[in-house]
Structure 1
Amino acid sequence: MTWMEWYNTLSKPDWTPSPGTISLIWQILYPIILISFGYVFYQTARRRYPAATAVPFAINLIANLSFTPLFFGLRNVPLATLDILVVWSTILWIIYRIWPRSRWVALAQIPYLIWVSIATTIQVSIFWMN
């Protein structure tokens, strides 16, 4: 069974956006993430920011990129749920950590936080419903 067939068999909240809508949201968010995270990694590499500043960004990036293989590849709903909780919590950590150094980077994470809050609620619901 394809990943889409598998996904369609899962019980989901009635208000779950369509896969096309989810894709569009990520198409908007990924450039924001690329620019803001890239800026932080660049500033860290140039030693303008302490290395610890980049830690939540790195953890978030790894967790974000891990979600699709965990959920759709391995079809491991519990592990994907744990993963998205890591994504969500590291966004909060990112905002807290970067605010004193670069407020534009912190503010750029707000749409990401809003979407991941919604996605986390959906994922936790999928976990409980299945």
Structure 2
Amino acid sequence: MKQFKLTILFLFINFGGLAIGSWLMNNGPLTEWYTNLNQAPWTPPGWVFGVAWTLIMICFSIYLGKLFIEDNSQKLKLVFLFQFILNVSWNYIFFNQHLVLFGLITIVLLTSLLFYYFFKLSNKTNNYKFLLVPYMIWLCIATSLNLYVLIHN
């Protein structure tokens, strides 16, 4: 029951973060600035982002529910807070402020943090850590898209 309650809590937090990030980017992907950029040939169509983030946040919330049962330390809470801030702020930095290099730094930090979750924080979660794989893959793709925009614009 504790796992279920924590998962629900993290679903609210994580989807709330997506909503805040979406609001902060101010229609970023539809703006003239973004549509006129040289974008990577592997940039997915817009609908893929919604599907991907929905799956990612469901998996991540289940993982976090398990992780916080096993380790409810202050360190873990700070790591989660840092991850949350990086995830939400990237939208604002990249799409709203057009700070492509700073966006790349932000997403590299976020990606590194997810790998840290996977390799260092997941000792007690057994196979739950594999719920991070969609998030890790997506962040690698997103990092490559951000890098492409930086190099080719």
- When normalised by structure 2's length, the TM-score is 0.72
Alignment of 1:51 onto 2:74: yes
User: Which runs of structure 2 are paired with 1:1-130 in the superposition (5 Å)?
Assistant: 3=28, 4=30, 5-41=32-68, 43=69, 48-130=71-153
Which 5+ residue runs of structure 2 have no aligned equivalent?
1-26
Q: Aligned-pair distance for 1:24? A: 1.7
Q: Aligned-pair distance for 1:37? A: 2.5
Q: Matches of 2:126 and 2:152 in 1, distance apart?
A: 39
When the two chains are superposed, the root-mean-square deviation of aligned CA atoms in Å is 2.0
Q: Greater relative contact order: 1 or 2 (C-alpha under 8 angstroms, separation 6 or more)?
A: 2
| Residues 57-82 of structure 1, C-alpha deviations (whole Å, 9 max, x = no match) | 33222111111111112121111111
How many residue pairs get aligned? The number is 125
Percent of residue pairs bearing the same amino acid type: 22
Which 5+ residue runs of structure 1 have no aligned equivalent?
none
Q: Aligned-pair distance for 1:89? A: 0.3
